[in-house]
């Protein structure tokens, strides 16, 4: 068992409770993105037992963070949204040098790779211009409501597989954020089961797609990943803070995020 995956999973799980921040981006920051994709894809093969040592601790960390830290993270995001978002901006930008080095490990970037990168930046960046809403908690859980929750889970699961796409933001855009978060805090098992089934199916489908492109178009896939990470900056960016105190606080949290990315990178890439 790779027990250090528990803390990795906790970081990914905590980030998934924040609209605009992607668990896939945190996997990139931690340097385990391609290993994560390979493990999920391998779990669906005859060698599934070999992946348990990686996936079980990671899953435990994600679940622990979502159920134990969701209230704290949500409170911080509501109370100090600017500084928290600037921290994640630093965390996201701090990993880019490593990503460019890793992307060009096999083939140097060519014009088509830069075009893929730009297209990915635009695609994810446009999400920041959408007008998401948490929506009211769905009280009448009809068949249509369950279908909506299942579809929301399929769409939001892309956050684990694709950097830059936030699962919480997808839930908000689809109007199911409040219902899902309420189900997590109140352990509403029917909602969790339906949404969870959608998440699992979405992860399976998206992982196979990403795995194919990583195996056959490594540099191109990483160009897309880098573009999505850069594009997430436009989604997370909260706007320039007003007031000297807010500016100083945001600069400090941004610097802490950069330092955290460098520290995590140093620890992970040596491991």
**String of b and e for 242-260 (b: at least 16 CB within 10 Å)?**
eeeeeeebbeebbeebbeb
Instruction: Convert the pLDDT of each residue in 112-151 to its tens digit.
Output: 999 999 999 998 888 767 656 656 778 888 898 999 999 9
Instruction: Report the chain's terminal Cα–Cα distance, integer Å.
Output: 15
Name, of 9-13, 71-75, 253-257, 264-268, the range with top average pLDDT: 253-257
- CA pair distance 268, 271, nearest whole angstrom: 5
Percent over 70 (pLDDT), the chain: 90
Residue 269 confidence (pLDDT) above 70: no
Residue 54 confidence (pLDDT) above 80: yes
- Average pLDDT (59-63) is 91
How do the domains of the chain map onto residue ranges?
Answer: 5-270
Question: 70: pLDDT confidence band, cut at 50, 70 and 90?
Answer: low
Sign of the dihedral through C-alpha 160, 269, 29, 119: negative
**Averaged pLDDT of the chain:** 83
């Amino acid at each position: 068992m790779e027990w250090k995956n528990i803390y990795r999973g906790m970081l990914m799980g905590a980030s998934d409770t924040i609209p605009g921040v992607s668990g896939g981006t945190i996997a990139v920051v931690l340097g385990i993105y391609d290993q994560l994709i390979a493990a999920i894809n391998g779990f669906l093969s005859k060698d599934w037992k070999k992946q348990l040592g990686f996936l079980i601790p990671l899953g435990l960390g994600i679940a622990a963070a979502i159920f134990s830290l969701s209230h704290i993270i949500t409170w911080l995001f509501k109370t100090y949204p600017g500084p928290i978002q600037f921290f994640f901006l630093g965390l996201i930008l701090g990993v880019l040098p490593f990503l460019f080095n890793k992307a060009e490990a096999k083939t140097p970037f060519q014009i088509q790779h830069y075009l893929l990168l730009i297209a990915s930046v635009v695609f994810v960046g446009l999400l920041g211009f959408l007008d998401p809403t948490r929506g009211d908690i769905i009280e009448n859980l009809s068949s249509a409501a369950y279908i909506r929750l299942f579809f929301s889970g399929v769409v939001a699961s892309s956050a684990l597989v694709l950097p830059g796409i936030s699962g919480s933001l997808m839930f908000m855009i689809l109007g199911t954020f409040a219902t899902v978060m309420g189900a997590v805090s109140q352990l509403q098992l029917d909602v969790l089961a339906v949404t969870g089934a959608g998440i699992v199916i979405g992860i399976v489908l998206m992982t196979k797609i990403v795995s194919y492109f990583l195996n056959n178009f490594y540099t191109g896939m990483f160009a897309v990943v880098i573009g999505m990470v850069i594009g997430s900056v436009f989604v997370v960016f909260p706007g320039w803070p007003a007031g000297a105190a807010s500016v100083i606080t945001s600069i400090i949290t941004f610097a802490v995020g950069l330092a955290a990315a460098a520290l995590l990178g140093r620890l992970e890439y040596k491991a």
